[in-house]
Structure 1
């Protein structure tokens, strides 16, 4: 079976390369965390694999692995995210927003404020230019609004 990459797969190729990641400390202290490094590679144009590594707030090492692809049958982006700091595997379902620059990835996972419950989350990858992008993670509140949890800036190395 031979599958050819579609235009939507090519959108993901903008993520390829080596990136330096900076973000504000998620504890709300206002301090910047130590920069992370992410390497993004392609699996024959159909999938991208994003491998991140750095130091967590508190000083312990961390690793992340994100996979992203596009399913032409469902016309949806899909993927996964796992990290060394938790046991939950996040499974993504998403779309490119009308601006053509933002990939909105929806998922469900543990509600960090209400143990034993689940919540809806969204990770948003926004392309700023060829060398910069952002990742914003947000959670949907009980009233349906979105609350930002974390924002990171990626700069091409």
Structure 2
């Protein structure tokens, strides 16, 4: 639809705008230790309908990581849509998501290459939780063979002036 009016869900996304600092931890592989990193993110609007989150951080080897997430809302389908790309991989993650009844938890479903390196595709979830004013988390989960979800990483974001 051309030139649609912003929906309440588009306005919900606006709280992701601004400058943020992040601390994250990736769950450890068996026998390993959890990886910690720090980063920054800038959220900007693309009109009234989309947000673009551009982030930087450190890789476990000390190298720089760059990421970009786009998020919007399709009022006809009543679903959040988006993408995620990062400098550390060639896969573009495509999101479809829903917001919980309390409007605090946005669950984004996606699929992509299995982190097991077995050449298969796996299902993942990225969950954005609004903790409070100027504070949110992004938690990533991978689906297990039994259908349960295992946390892979969590980043905590604090808005900066």
TM tier, smaller: over 0.9
Asked if 1:139 corresponds to 2:142, the answer is: yes
Contact 2:141 2:149 in 1 (8 A): yes
Give the Cα–Cα distance (whole angstroms) in 2 for the partners of residues 92 and 116 of structure 1.
21
Question: Residues 52-109 of structure 1: CA distance to partner in whole angstroms, max 9, x if unpaired?
Answer: 0122111111100000000011000000000000000000000001231000000010
Give the Cα–Cα distance (whole angstroms) in 2 for the partners of residues 79 and 85 of structure 1.
19
Asked if 1:82 corresponds to 2:85, the answer is: yes
CA shift, 1:25, in A, is 4.3
Of residues 123, 126, 129 in structure 1, which corresponds to 2:129? 126
Of residues 68, 71, 74 in structure 2, which corresponds to 1:71? 74
**Residues 1-157 of structure 1 aligned to structure 2 (within 5 Å):** 1-27=2-28, 29-30=33-34, 32-33=36-37, 35-157=38-160
CA shift, 1:31, in A, is 5.4
Give the 3-state SS of the residue equivalent to 1:78 in structure 2. Answer: strand
Give the Cα–Cα distance (whole angstroms) in 2 for the partners of residues 74 and 80 of structure 1.
17
Unaligned runs of 5+ in 1: none
TM-score by length of 1: 0.95
Unaligned runs of 5+ in 2: none
Calculate the aligned-residue CA RMSD, in Å: 1.3
Give the Cα–Cα distance (whole angstroms) in 1 for the partners of residues 93 and 115 of structure 2.
14
TM-score by length of 2: 0.92
